[in-house]
Amino acid sequence: MAEKKQAKSKIKIVKPLKKEVKQTKELLSDLNSKINNSEVSEKDKRLTLIKTHKKITNLLLKTIPYLLFLFILDVVMLSVITVLFILSAFILDGTAADIVRYILLGVSAFMLAKFTYMNWFSKNLYFKKIIVFKYKSKVDRKKFRAVREISFTPIWFLIFFVASNFYITILVNFEIQQNFVSTGDNKVLIWAILRTTIDMMLLPSFLNSFNKIADKSKAIDANYVKLIKDQYFSNKSLFEDVEFEDNYLNLKFSKNSLTSKNGLFILVNKDDLTRPDQGRMIEINNEILDRYKEIWESYVDLLENRMKAKFNKATVHKLFWLERIYDTIFLDLFEI
């Protein structure tokens, strides 16, 4: 008896997102009560649909503090560059203007190098991520963490990086051309080298950003759309007819002959885990599955209610981005 009690005490779990799950259910309940109420106007129903699912998706999107700090820092540095340019070009003159100009070029060079590095190595990450689930626990006195974070980058964020690069490049070229390039052979040669270097650095960066924007604008993966999204009315019970594969490596959806990607769930190897540990890992996997079920129910609700009313262009645009958040989660889940 003592051994059994000791085995159970080895496992400690912090249940995640309990508050978010409760809020989601309450929001959906309120939404459907209004949607099905004949006394509520169609306009109010449309507004409620948008507001409700915006709140639900905001529960999925979590701010990453250091990424938010970097974004704010970029905005501040761009503001500083703008102020320095105005001072050097229109307000100051003489030695003071030269000093400010050198500071401007130094800060601009740093920002261009930073943006180039971030674009080359895809480090320009949005300051929010989709958190599907997040667990912290202890198994046999060892720390255990299960989390699913998905990067989600809106188009405006990518446009911000492209526009920032473009803006700073114009200021740098203007300052150098206006104040440092003369007809002297040496200065012309230096300028040619600098200009070529800047172009070589920025061209791949711009191309990478443009490609990302193009990818974001493309239709969602064809198989996902045809098998799941466009067939949502036949897939309401998609997560009810599901079972885990051996060792909980992935999910198998019998209705559609679909499987989930490997690595989303916790591998339960019976040869390496004690019975209490196995039981808790299985329990966590079931909780993760329940989390996906809840998100799918929210998404089906949005798709169903979207078809019941006509929306103006602005509202359609908002709906599109709400759907993209859900789409990102399920594109990450399914092996299609």
pLDDT digits (tens, 9 = 90+) for 143-186: 778 889 999 888 888 888 878 888 888 888 788 777 766 555 56
pLDDT tens per residue across span 20-52: 777 888 888 888 888 888 888 888 888 889 999
Q: Which ranges of the chain does DSSP label H, i.e. alpha helix?
A: 2-9, 18-35, 42-60, 65-86, 94-120, 155-179, 185-217, 222-224, 275-306, 313-333
Terminal Cα-to-Cα distance of the chain (whole angstroms): 48
Which residue, 156, 166, 147, is CA-closest to 126?
A: 156
| pTM to 2 decimal places | 0.81
**Backbone dihedral region for residue 43 (phi beyond 0: left; psi -120 to 50: alpha; all else: beta):** alpha
Low-confidence ranges of the chain (pLDDT < 50): 1-14, 217
Which residue, 211, 255, 247, 301, is CA-closest to 30?
A: 301
Dist. CA 243–CA 306, nearest whole Å: 30
Residue 254 burial (CB < 10 Å; 0-12/13-18/19+)?
exposed
User: DSSP per residue over 300-323, as a string?
Assistant: HHHHHHHTTS---HHHHHHHHHHH
Dist. CA 326–CA 232, nearest whole Å: 13
The residues near 243 (Cβ < 8 Å, ≥ 6 apart) are: 251, 252, 254
Provide the token pair at 336.
């299609």
Dist. CA 306–CA 229, nearest whole Å: 13
The residues near 270 (Cβ < 8 Å, ≥ 6 apart) are: 247, 278
Dist. CA 94–CA 116, nearest whole Å: 33
**Backbone dihedral region for residue 263 (phi beyond 0: left; psi -120 to 50: alpha; all else: beta):** left
- What is the reported pLDDT for 10? 43
- What is the reported pLDDT for 45? 84
The strand pair at 242-244 and 142-151 is best described as: unpaired
Phi, psi of 259 (to 5 degrees): -135, 160
Neighbours of 88 (CB within 10 A): 24
- What is the reported pLDDT for 115? 82
Q: Over the Cα atoms of the chain, what is R_g?
A: 27
For residues 157-190, b (16+ Cβ closer than 10 Å) or e, as one string?
bbebbbebbebbbebbeebbeeeebeeeeeeeee
CA dihedral 46, 49, 54, 56 (to 10 degrees): 180
Q: Which neighbouring-strand residues pair with 143?
A: 138
Dist. CA 81–CA 96, nearest whole Å: 16
Provide the token pair at 145.
């963490």
